[in-house]
Structure 1
């Protein structure tokens, strides 16, 4: 999964905060600054899991503070699923 795909899922799952440019360099911008709270991340993670047939640890929602962190965890899970 890449940043473009993640921002698409974020927009579809939780909307987009007015005045926030998700198309910019946001990899290391905290989700909180992007306008996403834990509920928004919970919905986003759930959708990613369903659409990709993967399972992420329960604590990923609370630990994922930036898009980079979440993408790393998602891509790790995708790699495991592909090798199984």
Structure 2
């Protein structure tokens, strides 16, 4: 049971990072709704993937400055690269 319920350090995100995440999530939601209304969802999906990549980069930078394990911010950077690849695939 200890494997699933490990204690994490109580390192909280800085307030500006939380605000940036909220703003990015709102932009992603508005883009998704706007794309559904306009019918051109591929352009807006590309925008959503780019924003998700930026959020992953922000998470990686925050993990780096909080002295997290190297694996944590490398995984975040890997997800950022994955999001940017998805954005490139939807560029048609």
Give the alignment's TM-score, normalised by structure 1.
Answer: 0.31
- Structure whose alpha-carbon radius of gyration is higher: 2
Which protein is richer in helix relative to its size?
2
TM-score normalised by structure 2 residue count: 0.29
